Amino acid sequence: MLTIALSKGYLLDTALKLFKKIGLHFPAADISRKLEFMDSTGEYRFLIVRPVDVPVYVEYGTADLGIAGKDILLEGRHKVTELLDLKFGFCRLVLAARRGAYRQDTLPTGLRVATKFSNSAAAYFQKLDLDVELIKLYGSVELAPVDGLSDVIIDLVATGRTLKENGLEVLDEIYQSTARLIANRVKAKSRYREIMALAKKIKRVA
Amino acid sequence: MIRDILPPDTGWRREILGKIVRVFERAGYAEIVTPTFEEYAVLSAGLPEHLQSASYRFFDHQGVQMVLRPDITTQIARVAATKLAKQKGPLRFYYSGDVYRVSGLEIGQNHQFHQIGVELFDVPGVSGEREILTLAEEIVRSVGLRDWRIEQTNAGKIQRLPAKQRAALQQQDFVTLGRLPRLSELLSVDLEYYTGLYFECFVPEMGYILGSGGRYDNLCAAFGRKRPAVGFAFNLDKLARVLAAQGRK
């Protein structure tokens, strides 16, 4: 049996579809509300956790495999093995501000930056050699520059609609992200054959 | 995590150490004891980057920067290249002692943990590697570990890859490499240290490795005398935990 951690939320359906495509069946009972369930053969066990927690479950080996966004892997710097790009869940980490307020090439020092992605943000401004004040938020980051909590934000955008609706514009793109199939570093070795067989099947349909 | 170790765990650890030491001594390895802390400027010459940044440092009463050893192999390489530079090889040493590293380097890693291992100097090539691998296998057998595996790879080969491929391999990023890994590519080799054989010992049910080792022919040169070297170390804390989980206590 392999244990696979999946992200709760809007990516869950896409992830489950992927497993259905390779021939897995799930009992009809409402799996969307369960935190833990098996496929019909009992060969695969799924854990449904917060997106940021997926690599944690995998790093500690509680889950053998997981599906996590590249954004979360880059932010958390977890020691996991990255096997496949699953090409769904596309998003970009961007620097954004109120329309017309700043330009990327003339950002002033001492800027206040609101973000959920403190590590990625710190690395970005270090590369620009700019001293900034980071404000860690856990949600509704787009609100921060509108209400004066911060000058700019670093946040994920998929379509860019939320930014637009709040009168914000993208100044720079920091990276692009898609969902990845990840494995625990020891399990990838100790259960190599099983994990690679599954990865190969997924690769064909991803 | 910083923690106290209490009975009966202390007795249990002592028992495991005793079994391992007996194997080492039978194989002709002699104990070496190196200082818990020493001058940073001296030891750092041979410390790989990730251990430098994970080390605890402080100033002594004269303002000299000291380091709590994050690794014992580097200290033994220092001894082999300086104090024992003129002694003819092969040299066979075993050690058993605590090392200190800031957390976050590995999961399940305490700030202070016990390493027990061996170093073999001046036996180049396959014969030295075979001796060390056989000894590592004897160790896991002597403590009664079940379902253990030792996987090996060639760090020297990875060193010769183009920089981008090498970096991706070290980060275990097979998306960048554009293909699924071969088994030997799943060993996360520290390339600053290892120059040839590299191996890891683990059990399937645990998410971390119990011990690792390999050939590190350039380490002694950092201290002034080139000497082929090969060795391994086991983490006693992890070994004790796995043995307990396997019901060997």
Q: Helices (DSSP H) in chain B: which residue ranges?
A: 9-26, 40-43, 49-52, 73-81, 125-142, 155-159, 163-170, 174-177, 236-245
Put simply, whether A178 touches B (Cβ < 8 Å) is no
Q: At what angle do helices B9-26 and B236-245 cross, to 10 degrees?
A: 110
**CA–CA distance from B72 to each of B21, B109, B116, B135, B195 (Å)?**
16, 16, 9, 19, 18
Residues A107 and A152 in one domain: yes
Residues A111 and A144 in one domain: yes
Tens digit of each residue's pLDDT (9 = 90 or more) over A91-126 = 999 999 999 999 999 999 999 999 999 999 999 999
Phi-psi region of B144 (alpha: psi -120 to 50; beta: other; left: phi over 0): left
| Record: contact B181-A81, CB cut-off 8 A | yes
Superfamily of the domain at B9-35+69-245: Bira Bifunctional Protein; Domain 2 (3.30.930.10)
Question: Where are the domains positioned within chain B?
Answer: 9-35+69-245
DSSP-assigned beta bridge partners for residue B30? B93
End-to-end CA distance of chain A: 22
Q: What is the pTM of this model?
A: 0.88
Put simply, whether A187 touches B (Cβ < 8 Å) is yes
Contact A81, A183 (CB under 8 A): yes
Q: At what angle do helices A192-205 and A11-21 cross, to 10 degrees?
A: 100
How much helix, strand and coil, in percent to the nearest 5, is found in chain B? 35, 25, 40
Residues A43 and A65 in one domain: yes
Put simply, the chain A residues between 82 and 101 with a CB less than 8 A from any chain B CB are: 82-85
Report the CATH number at residue A27.
3.40.190.10
Contact B95, B115 (CB under 8 A): yes
Question: How many domains is chain A built from?
Answer: 2
Structure tokens, A141: 């980051």
Q: Across residues B217-241, what is the average pLDDT? A: 96
Q: Please state, in angstroms and rounded to a whole number, the distance separating the CA atoms of residues A68 and A57.
A: 11
Q: Would you say residue A11 has pLDDT above 90?
A: no
| Record: contact B202-A186, CB cut-off 8 A | yes
| Record: contact B204-A60, CB cut-off 8 A | no
Range of the domain at A46: 2-89+178-205
Residues A182 and A171 in one domain: no
For residue B190, what pLDDT is reported?
A: 76
Residues A154 and A197 in one domain: no
Structure tokens, A160: 């860019």
Tens digit of each residue's pLDDT (9 = 90 or more) over A57-93 = 999 899 999 999 999 999 998 999 999 999 999 999 9
Residues A83 and A115 in one domain: no
